Every structure is written in structure tokens, then in C-alpha cells.
Amino acid sequence: MCGIVGILGSKPVAIDLVDALRRLEYRGYDSAGIATVEKGKLDRRRAEGKLRNLETRLHEEPLKGHVGIGHTRWATHGRPTELNAHPHMSDRVSVVHNGIIENFRDLKQDLQAKGHKFTSDTDTEAVVHLITDGLQRGLKPIEATKEALSRLHGAFALAIIFAGEDDLMIGARQGSPLAIGHGKGEMYLGSDAIALAPFTDTITYLDEGDWCVLSRDTSVIFDKGNRRVDRPTIKSVASSLLVDKGNYRHFMAKEIHEQPEVISHTLGNYIDMAAGIVKMPALGIDLSEVNRVTISACGTAYYAGVVGKYWIEKYARLPVEIDIASEFRYREVPLQPGGLSVFVSQSGETADTLEALRYCKRNGQTIASIVNVRTSTIARESNTILPTLAGPEIGVASTKAFTSQLSVLACLALALGRARGTLSPETEQELVKALTELPRHISTLLHNETVYEELAHEISKARDVLYLGRGVSFPIAMEGALKLKEISYIHAEGYAAGELKHGPIALIDENVPVIVVAPEDELFDKTVSNMQEVAARGGQIILISDAPTERAGCRLLAHIKMPKAHALTNPLLYAVPIQLIAYHTAVFMGTDVDQPRNLAKSVTVE
Ligand code: F6R
């Protein structure tokens, strides 16, 4: 993930900026840079590769400004070159950015037509020219930024400084985290408290949609509607921990809220945003010649794999076999040469998944693993790693790792489709666009959690909860049931909606909440029939859907209204409410959310 830092200091800030960036190295990066305001002028140094390259540049040509911003970049739009490294700037403004500006192509066209010259392939540069344009029209820096922010679509965090302004920095958060650090006569901005730990432990986290105007002595925060707001200031313990909870009660809540950012980041690794196409690393196999895909994993990672199966079959028209790793490894599956075996694992250490991998390797399959820990055993034993860039996941119940796994699997499905000629370039572009819009949709969903707090009262009374889904929503229903079981200890099962009447319907009465995952797609009406069967037996239905409530055709206990999104991205989007239902129910019941009983984060035994 890209890292952002900003300092309004009382002495030259370049060394401190690099120190802070060093503390963000754990997020991963491929270039870095800083910019400062010196004698009213903006200047910057940037370098490809590690921070020591930037330090060498700074040593050759120091920057002496007392106000500055810094950035470690994980390439999304444009290759990891010095030209694309942040900060981006004009003679009036300099910007560092984390996330995706979805409408950058439209903005770029408009701005180029007005004579603005772009020098990089990044989406960030559109922000620079947008603000510069306002300044050229006579707006003051705060007004120009406010106007520019209102035109940006996407999920992002920004830190901005201005020529001629030695006591001003502006930050904005929409989908990617940003924290203000309060010093004595100094002020800071950072992607997280860890970056700011050497300078201050007094931190204010911005909320979704917030933006802030900082000087050395003041910090003023505005919400999305540009109303002045107060956000709590907390004492951070980041100096002693590599990762902290921010101002969340639990790691699980923090990790749920990190999803817009980690999904952007993961997608950035597999999508060429400027061209609107997927770009997979070499898999050691010609994708056009793959004759069969085998996916194997455990638990939540297995459900990600099931979604992957639906996608690969639909978009690449390839047969996919999927199994739970503990079953697969003993099944003596016949495997023909020419197959691709995909293993999904957050930890990369799960014993059953590893053994399934070794079985496939012995049987001549090409091994690709989707892992969050690149140094893990599963990663080491694979032909290719497809990393998820979720960052450390501390909560035992997997959340952001799951949606990052789905992000990689979606890109893999599209890459297979393109290679096999089952996806036209136009369809690929449409699907890639849908993926890039996803972080914004998820951010919208995370704005209001009241509905989940209210539902928690009802669900906590239940002994059993059923989750129903059809098609690609079926694995999301199973994942929902697993999440609820794990952290609230309420018995829950996920079923294919059509399977209900073949047995589980016997369980339905007025004490059984039935959570239905049903985007308004071509299968929606079928699922409505199943809901009516539940309603007729007194079941309490909680519908998660983008359809109008009337289309349910029966009484609902609640309707969690979802934004309209592309069918491809619905599994990722609908994963969020099922995580929030489980989380708030567990919080209401007072269980140990981050470390539920009997569970371990990494299961290295059979
Ligand atoms: C559930 C959960 C587990 C893991 C499973 C596989 O929330 O986290 O079901 O998904 O133990 O673990 P990894 O992905 O590390 O192989």
C-alpha cells in the first residue's frame, strides 16, 4: 500500500519525512519521494526503488523546507519509474496520494483541453492540475482544494502543500486512512499512527469523507458536506506496536474499514488502470493452453475459491474443480498435465492447503498461490505467487484478506478469459472499470453501521441462523454463516437458496433469522420464491439487496439496501454487510471478537 506523510515543522523536515516513510515500508512500495516549500517555492526529490536511493538523491541535492510531504508508492497507474513517483506537482501545488481517482481520464481530458501539461501516467497528476486550475482562476488554496475534492470520484487519501504557503497543509480522506498528528508547534499527517510515532502519540483519525486544513498550531476538520466537525483525539500506542487499532474498538472493525484501501491496492497490482486491462504476472504457463483449473483452500479462503470458480467458468469458460484442501489431499484426484492449480491462503502456512499443493505439484500441475504472506511456505513452494496486498490481518476472523483474495481471483478470471478469447476487449474494459469502482462502493457501505447495531439485538437472540444465496452469492452466504459462527458462537449455516426445500426448510420458524444475499440479477426472482417459502413458515427475513423493498414480495425483518454495482463485483460488495452483521452481533454479545475461542490465525496442523 502506498504510504503518506506530511510535516509542518519548526526546522527542515526532509530527514524526518524519510524517517516516517521508513516506518511505512512494511506496507510495500517501489518508489519514493518528498517535496518541500523552501523560500516560497516547491521543490521535490524522487527515486525508484528503496528509500536509500531517495536518501542518496537528497544527499546530493538537499531540500531545506520546513513544510513537506512524502510518499512511498506501490504502482497502480503507470510503471514504478521516477517520473511516476510522488509527489506530483505544478509550480503552485504538490500532492501525494494513496488510492484510485476513478474519473482521472475525464478530468485529464478536460484539463489538457485547458492547456495543462501532464508529465506522468498517474491518476494523481489530475488532482495537481485540478487544484492548479482553481488557483489560476484566483481561488485561494483552501477554496481551490475544496472545489477539486468535489470533482474527484474514487477511494483515496491526499496530502497537499502549496507554493508561497509556509504554514499550510491540506489532507483528505475518502476510502483510504489518514491521521493527523499533533506536536508542539508542529503538525503532521500520516497514513497511520505508526508513521508518526517518532514525532507524536497524539492522533486524530479522519472519518470517511473528511478533509482537514492544518497549520503548525491548528487543525480544522470538515466533513463531506464541508461542515466543520470535531473528531476525537486519542493517545496512540503505535510506537510499541507495528500495527495498532487506530480509533477502532477491535482489529476486525479496523480491517473491515481498510477494505476500500486494500482492494484498491491489490487491484492496482493486477490492473493497468490507464489502459483499462488486467495485467497478470507470468504464471509459468500459457494461459490460452490451460485445460483445467483446480482450486484448493480452507475456510474463508475456500469460499473465496468458490467465487473464483463461478467467475472462471463464466468469463473464461474453463472447467474448474474446487475442494476443501483437507478433502482434496486424500481424494486421489486424477490430474492431467496442462492444468493450473490455484491455492488460496492468507497465512500461506495452512497445513492442509500446503499438502494439497504438494499433491498437485507431484502430479505435474503448474502451481499459483494467492497468499498474503509472501515469505510463507506455500508461496515458496509455488511456481508463481499472486500476492494479496491486504497488509497484516490481526483479527482471527478473516475480512480484508477475503476481499483481497476475491480481487485477485477476479483478475485471474479476466486474464484467463482474455487469453482464451472468451472476453472481448470491450467486455474486459467494462469489467475492469467495474473493479476500479468497487473501493468507492465499499466506502459508501461503511458510512452507516446503525442498521447492523439494531440487527445485532435480534440476531443475538437466535439459536440458529440460516444464510441463503444463489449462484455466486451462495459462497457469500456460506462465508456469512462462518463469520457469525466464529465470533458470536451462534450456530449458522449457508445454503444454496434452491436447496432450502430439500431439507433445511424444516428448521424454519419465527425464531430463525434467515439472511438472504440477493443482488437484483437474473436469479433474483428465483431467490424471491425461496424467501416467500420462508415467510410462509414465519421465518424472519433479513434481505441484503440492491432491489427495491417491494420486490421482496413478503414481510422483511430488515432490508440492508445495497448500492447498484456490476454483477462481477457483487460478491466483494455483499461480503461487507455479512462481515458487519457478524461483527456487531459479536460486539453486542460481548465475545472476544479478535481472538474467538478455540481458533488460531494460522492453522499449521492437519
Ligand atoms: C475464517 C478464517 C479461516 C481461514 C482458514 C484458512 O475467518 O480466517 O477459515 O480462512 O483457516 O487460512 P489461510 O487463509 O491462512 O490458509
Q: Which of 146, 217, 159 is nearest to 183 (CA)?
A: 217
Residue 355 host element (H or E): helix 351-362
Domain contains 430: yes
- Residues with Cβ within 8 Å of 44's Cβ and at least 6 positions away in sequence, in order, are 33, 34, 35, 36, 63, 87, 89, 94
Residues in the chain: 606
Q: Ligand 1, residues 346, 352, 354: which to mutate, most atoms within 8 A of Cβ?
A: 346
Nearest CA to ligand 1 atom 3: 299
Domain contains 602: no
Looking at the fold, whether 394 and 508 belong to one and the same domain comes out as no
Q: How far is the CA of 224 from the centre of ligand 1 (A)?
A: 36
Q: Which of 37, 35, 28 is nearest to 5 (CA)?
A: 35
Q: How far is the CA of 280 from the centre of ligand 1 (A)?
A: 24
The C-alpha atoms of residue 67 and residue 9 are separated, in whole angstroms, by 6
Q: Is the CB of 397 under 6 A from ligand 1?
A: yes
- CATH code of residue 376: 3.40.50.10490
The C-alpha atoms of residue 476 and residue 308 are separated, in whole angstroms, by 12
The count of other CB atoms within 10 Å of the CB of residue 600 is: 10
- Chosen domain end from 193, 222, 247: 247
Looking at the fold, whether 285 and 363 belong to one and the same domain comes out as yes
Q: How far is the CA of 213 from the centre of ligand 1 (A)?
A: 41
DSSP track, 57-124: HHHHS----SEEEEEEE--SSS-SSTTTPSPEE-SSEEEEEEEEETTHHHHHHHHHHTTPPP-SS-SH
Q: Ligand 1, residues 298, 385, 483: which to mutate, most atoms within 8 A of Cβ?
A: 298
Q: Is the CB of 486 under 6 A from ligand 1?
A: yes
Specify the pLDDT at position 605: 60
The C-alpha atoms of residue 381 and residue 45 are separated, in whole angstroms, by 39
To the nearest 10 degrees (0 to 180), the angle between helices 259-270 and 400-420 is 30
The count of other CB atoms within 10 Å of the CB of residue 532 is: 14
Looking at the fold, whether 75 and 134 belong to one and the same domain comes out as yes
- CATH code of residue 176: 3.60.20.10
Cβ atoms of residues 431 and 267 within 8 Å: no
Q: Is the CB of 480 under 6 A from ligand 1?
A: no
Q: CA of 475: how far to CAs of 6, 223, 273, 309, 504, in Å?
A: 42, 36, 28, 10, 17
Domain contains 223: yes
- Residue range of the domain that includes 336: 254-436
Specify the pLDDT at position 240: 42
Domain contains 516: yes
Q: Give the number of the atom of ligand 1 that is nearest the alpha carbon of residue 399.
A: 7
Looking at the fold, whether 395 and 509 belong to one and the same domain comes out as no
Q: Is the CB of 570 under 6 A from ligand 1?
A: no
C-alpha cell recorded at residue 260: 476500500
Residues carrying an active site annotation: 2, 601
Cβ atoms of residues 371 and 348 within 8 Å: yes
- Chosen domain end from 224, 247, 270: 247
Q: Is the CB of 353 under 6 A from ligand 1?
A: yes
Domain contains 595: no
Secondary structure (3-state) at 13: coil
Looking at the fold, whether 528 and 556 belong to one and the same domain comes out as yes
- Chosen domain end from 230, 247, 264: 247
Looking at the fold, whether 314 and 374 belong to one and the same domain comes out as yes
Secondary structure (3-state) at 490: coil
Instruction: Decide: residue 362, CB within 10 A, 0-12 exposed, 13-18 middle, 19+ buried.
Output: exposed
Q: The cell 476500479 sits on which residue?
A: 436
Domain contains 594: no
Looking at the fold, whether 14 and 93 belong to one and the same domain comes out as yes
C-alpha cell recorded at residue 271: 490492473
Looking at the fold, whether 584 and 522 belong to one and the same domain comes out as yes
Looking at the fold, whether 473 and 422 belong to one and the same domain comes out as no
The C-alpha atoms of residue 499 and residue 495 are separated, in whole angstroms, by 7
Q: What's the total number of domains in the chain?
A: 3
Cβ atoms of residues 349 and 457 within 8 Å: no
Looking at the fold, whether 413 and 450 belong to one and the same domain comes out as no
Nearest CA to ligand 1 atom 8: 398
Residue 579 host element (H or E): helix 570-589
Specify the pLDDT at position 535: 92
Cβ atoms of residues 120 and 78 within 8 Å: yes
Specify the pLDDT at position 141: 98
Residue 459 host element (H or E): helix 450-460
Pairing between strand 464-469 and 513-517? parallel
Beta strand residue intervals within 505-606, DSSP E: 513-517, 540-545, 558-561
Q: Is the CB of 296 under 6 A from ligand 1?
A: no
Q: How far is the CA of 124 from the centre of ligand 1 (A)?
A: 35
Q: Is the CB of 350 under 6 A from ligand 1?
A: yes
Looking at the fold, whether 322 and 200 belong to one and the same domain comes out as no
Domain contains 491: yes
Domain contains 597: no
Q: pTM score > 0.75 for this model?
A: yes
Q: Is the CB of 459 under 6 A from ligand 1?
A: no
Q: Could you say which residues of the chain have pLDDT below 70? A: 1, 26-28, 76-77, 237-244, 600-606
Q: How far is the CA of 346 from the centre of ligand 1 (A)?
A: 7
Looking at the fold, whether 242 and 272 belong to one and the same domain comes out as no
Specify the pLDDT at position 598: 80
